Amino acid sequence: MIAGSAEKVTRNFWAGGPDVYRRVLSGHAQKGMERHYVQPDFEKDLRAAMEKYTSWLTKQIEDVTQVKQENTG
């Protein structure tokens, strides 16, 4: 394994890079080995997921409110 590759594999994974590059970085030929090197940041990932969900939910509420106003106006 290349020195510091766990961090590089993690960044490549979260950036959506091709798995072939992750295999080169980790030194493994088998697909799926990056799961042993990807180091999730649970707090950051949870915060990003909640922001995405909140944004989606806000949009849904705005859409329903707009349709309701159009139907009653």
pLDDT tens, residue by residue, 55-71: 999 999 999 999 999 99
**Same domain as 29, residue 10:** yes
Query: Given a cut of 60, is residue 1 above it in pLDDT?
Result: no
**Same domain as 52, residue 30:** no
Element (H, E) at 41: none
**Same domain as 45, residue 33:** no
pLDDT tens, residue by residue, 5-63: 677 766 666 677 777 776 777 676 666 666 666 666 778 888 888 999 999 999 999 99
**Same domain as 26, residue 56:** no
Contact 9, 27 (CB under 8 A): no
Which amino acid is located at 58 in the chain? Answer: T
**Same domain as 1, residue 29:** yes
**Same domain as 13, residue 35:** yes
Burial of residue 28 (number of CB atoms within 10 Å: 0-12, 13-18, 19+): middle
- Predicted TM-score (pTM) of the model is 0.45
Residue of 30, 45, 35 lying closest to 12 (CA atoms): 35
